[in-house]
A and B are shown apart, each in its own frame.
Chain A
Amino acid sequence: MVISPELINLITGVISFLFTLLIFSYVLGDNPLFRIAVYIFVGVSSGYIAAVAWWQVIMPRLVYPAISAVNTGSSALMLELGLVLLGALMLLLFPHVTGLGRITLSFLVGVGAAVTLAGALTGTLIPQVMGSINAFDLNAASARNIGFMEAIFNGAIILVGTVLTLAYFHFGARPKADGSMHRLGLIEALAWGGRVFIGIALGVVFAGVYAAALTALIERISSLITFITGFLGNFL
């Protein structure tokens, strides 16, 4: 049976309209309608993720290669897939961090730690340090019509902000004579400056999130109006 695109659009529009109204009912306070929408949303999202994991990970990376290995008689591939299946079986039989499930989890944690480590180093640490250095690149600044003093001044603010913010996250402390723990006076002073930069950074992030939320709100209200006017237009 082939469903026309118009009918699909209508069904999508009606469901979308209903769920938007149910979620917006939260403005009146936490209520059963809002909860119904949220629980269905969690169920549908989880089911969708499970289906995607099945069709985009398990089938192409495990099931199809296993069938191919059996057909071609590739022993190396069969051994590799056998090990993965054994790991999967352990995970299924011991879903909590117990028994043989720990073996599979230790493999996942080891690989995850290595990927995180390499990602943090090559994806964040080196590019951010290079970014701080390049802020003083006067040739690049002049190519963008930025003056010498302006480039040095802005680069210095960025560098000072980076150092002070890092100082704020330095939690090493020494015990004093009365037994209380305090940071070094210099670190404490630098951390105070770091708080200013963190406040500004979080303020910018807040403004960004607020602008995105406002855009989403306007889009939803606009979709509600479009649906109602379109629906009424069919009868008037």
Chain B
Amino acid sequence: MRVITVFIAIISGLAVLSGYFLSGLFPVLTEVQTHLLNGAIILTGIAALVGIFNLISVHTDKVRRGEKGSVYSALLVISLVITFFLGIILRPEHDAMQVVMNGIVIPTEAALMGILTISLLYAAIRLLRRRVDMMSIIFLLTAVIILFGSATLPFGEIPLLGTFSRWVTQVWALGGVRGILIGVALGSLTTGLRVLFGADRPYGGN
């Protein structure tokens, strides 16, 4: 089984990758890539459904065993099942589904984001109280400069602060962000290559 899974992962990965870089030489590779990606998209959609059914089974078990917080689990399962069947019967673009989206999902996300204002402020204060070093001072000073430099203040813009905050964002921060992005890309590249060479096998098989 291990040999088969490694073989499938390497062959499918190389076929998709060659579709990106060798399609100019071999146009048939684009077609192979399209078919493989289509299959992967379908399987990912099914995997999402499997994950959601797993969520239902975990919370149904909690309700059955009468564990602490099982009332919340029951609410989760009921709301999930009702939304799913409404979505299947009416389709996601139906008015009733839009009420669900605009009445529950979007306001809850926005309100959670709003709560983040207090959490982030609290975290910043804790950082200053617990760890006062060069890194935390630079971090918080930059955040304050950017916030005051970009905010619309009642007494107008603080002289030079707007220009300085734009310079910090577009030059100094860009250097750091670019380094982080290149580091992440190199990490992704290495991980992808390890999977394609069969050195990493996250699908099981030691």
Contacts and interface: CB of A to CB of B under 8 A. Distances in A.
Interface of A: 3, 8, 11-16, 19-20, 23-24, 26-27, 35-58, 61-62, 80, 83-84, 87-88, 91-92, 95, 97-98, 102-122, 124-125, 128-129, 131-132, 154, 157-166, 168-169, 194-214, 216-221, 223
B46 A88 contact: yes
A16 B142 CA distance: 36
B202 to A, nearest CB: 6
Interface of B: 1, 4-6, 8-17, 20-21, 35-50, 52-55, 69, 72-73, 75-84, 86-88, 91-92, 95, 97-118, 120-121, 124, 134-136, 138-144, 146-147, 150-151, 168-186, 188-189, 191-193, 195-196, 201-205
B103 A117 contact: no
A66 to B, nearest CB: 11
A50 B12 contact: no
Contact of A207 (B5, B146, B175, B181): B146
Nearest to B83: A47
A128 B185 contact: yes
Contacts of A53: 45, 48-49
A20 B107 contact: yes
25 contacts: A11-B99, A19-B111, A23-B108, A47-B87, A50-B87, A51-B83, A55-B91, A57-B45, A84-B39, A102-B204, A106-B8, A106-B201, A109-B202, A113-B9, A117-B196, A119-B188, A125-B185, A158-B174, A165-B175, A199-B139, A200-B168, A201-B179, A203-B139, A204-B168, A213-B113
